[in-house]
Amino acid sequence: MKKILITGALGQIGSELTLTLRDIYGTDNVVATDIRKNDSEAANNGPFEILDVMDGQKMVDLSKKYEVDTIIHMAALLSATAEAKPVFAWNLNMGGLMNALETARELNCQFFTPSSIGAFGPTTPKDNTPQDTIQRPTTMYGVNKVAGELLADYYYHKYGVDTRGLRFPGLISYVTPAGGGTTDYAVDIYYEAIKNGKYTSYIDKGTYMDMMYMPDALNAIVNLMEADASHLKHRNSFNVTAMSFDPEEIAAEIKKHIPGFEISYEVDPIRQGIANSWPNSIDASAAREEWGFKAEYDLAKMTKDMLEKLTVKLK
Ligand code: AKB
């Protein structure tokens, strides 16, 4: 049985991951931490502690207090926010990761942190992007993600820390809204479709990016962490994806359920520039081969579920 500490537990992924892990490993075995508390289930239905990931000593103290054997480090700024505040992003994304890796080293913990399609750049092959390829990102977020992948590899090779990671695409969920990302349009579009029957996209038509529905992302984290270490050649980080679409394709899928739905465009040059530097679609075959990655949701199945769940939520 694992005893897990999660940072950024009230964020987009963390708030759902905390509940999934509590279902699997038991409520008391999953300690949620975040820089502030809110009224979410993750913060109130199990152990919760305030933790700023820049405070490495407190991270170690809390990990000792709860005798954890697994650190899941989710706290980070996403791509658009990191581009607006690059120095802060470097300090938080790299400083937080370093503290989390040091905690894992000191307490001999298994370790997970997400990377992203943002770890690729304009010189990376754009279609079916291989697992091992050119990574010269042109965003601060991407620089952080590549450095993070290398740092996690370093802790594995130098200290034997059992580090694992996934290169996530845009994640779509009806539970906790995304914030500060480039792929967030693919979440916002569902909210606006239900509330107003139309959406103005800041990402232009023809811009393809990988995406995945949150239940598949949560399963991927659990399955990677449970995978037999002897099968893992790529620890940090595996390409994972479930679909690739542009704004026109997601809008067309929504129209099947909301016939009057209209999409229009007011392109944001910053987020469009970030999207242009990322792959159109990535190849997840290493994840499939090394630990059995599989996604259940494609665009049609996800859209049906998102619209059903959000309709109830927004009532
Ligand atoms: C973002 O858009 O910044 C994230 C990501 C793909 O890493 N959703």
| ipTM higher than threshold 0.90 | yes
Q: Are residues 197 and 163 in the same domain?
A: no
pLDDT value at residue 171: 98
Q: Are residues 231 and 202 in the same domain?
A: no
Residue-wise DSSP of the chain: ---EEEESTTSTTHHHHHHHHHHHH-GGGEEEEESS--SSHHHHSS-EEE--TT-HHHHHHHHHHTT-SEEEE-----HHHHHHSHHHHIIIIIHHHHHHHHHHHHHT-EEE--EEGGG--TTS-SSSB-SS------SHHHHHHHHHHHHHHHHHHHH---EE-EEE-EEE-SSS---S-STTHHHHHHHHHHHHSEEEESS-TT--EEEEEHHHHHHHHHHHHHS-GGG-S--S-EE--SEEE-HHHHHHHHHTTSTT-EEEE---HHHHHHHHTS-S-B--HHHHHHH-------HHHHHHHHHHHHHHHT-
254 C-alpha to ligand 1 centroid (Å): 22
pLDDT tens digit sequence for 270-286:
999 999 999 999 999 99
pLDDT value at residue 1: 78
Q: Is residue 38 part of a domain?
A: yes
Is 148 near ligand 1, meaning CB less than 6 Å away?
no
pLDDT value at residue 68: 98
pLDDT tens digit sequence for 109-152:
999 999 999 999 999 999 999 999 999 999 999 999 999 999 99
Is 182 near ligand 1, meaning CB less than 6 Å away?
yes
Ligand 1 atom at shortest distance from the alpha carbon of 183: 2
Q: Are residues 195 and 219 in the same domain?
A: no
Q: Is residue 288 part of a domain?
A: no
Q: Is residue 285 part of a domain?
A: no
Q: Is residue 46 part of a domain?
A: yes
Q: Are residues 84 and 107 in the same domain?
A: yes
Q: Are residues 34 and 91 in the same domain?
A: yes
Q: Are residues 163 and 20 in the same domain?
A: yes
Please indicate whether residue 159 is annotated as part of the active site: no
pLDDT tens digit sequence for 240-260:
999 999 999 999 999 999 999
Is 11 near ligand 1, meaning CB less than 6 Å away?
no
Q: Is residue 289 part of a domain?
A: no
Q: Are residues 264 and 163 in the same domain?
A: no
pLDDT tens digit sequence for 177-202:
878 999 999 999 999 999 999 999 99
Q: Are residues 174 and 61 in the same domain?
A: no
Q: Are residues 126 and 78 in the same domain?
A: yes
- Active-site hit among 66, 141, 174, 199: 141
pLDDT tens digit sequence for 114-126:
999 999 999 999 9
Is 78 near ligand 1, meaning CB less than 6 Å away?
yes
Q: Are residues 259 and 223 in the same domain?
A: no
Q: Is residue 287 part of a domain?
A: no
Range of the domain at 41: 4-169+212-239
pLDDT value at residue 179: 86
Is 117 near ligand 1, meaning CB less than 6 Å away?
yes
CATH number for the domain spanning 206: value is 3.90.25
Q: Are residues 206 and 221 in the same domain?
A: no
What is the count of structural domains for the chain? 2
pLDDT value at residue 307: 98
Q: Is residue 22 part of a domain?
A: yes
171 C-alpha to ligand 1 centroid (Å): 8
Q: Are residues 148 and 181 in the same domain?
A: no
Q: Is residue 232 part of a domain?
A: yes
pLDDT value at residue 176: 87
Task: Tell me which residue has its CA closest to atom 7 in ligand 1.
Answer: 116
pLDDT value at residue 70: 98
Model-wide pTM > 0.95 = yes
CATH number for the domain spanning 105: value is 3.40.50.720
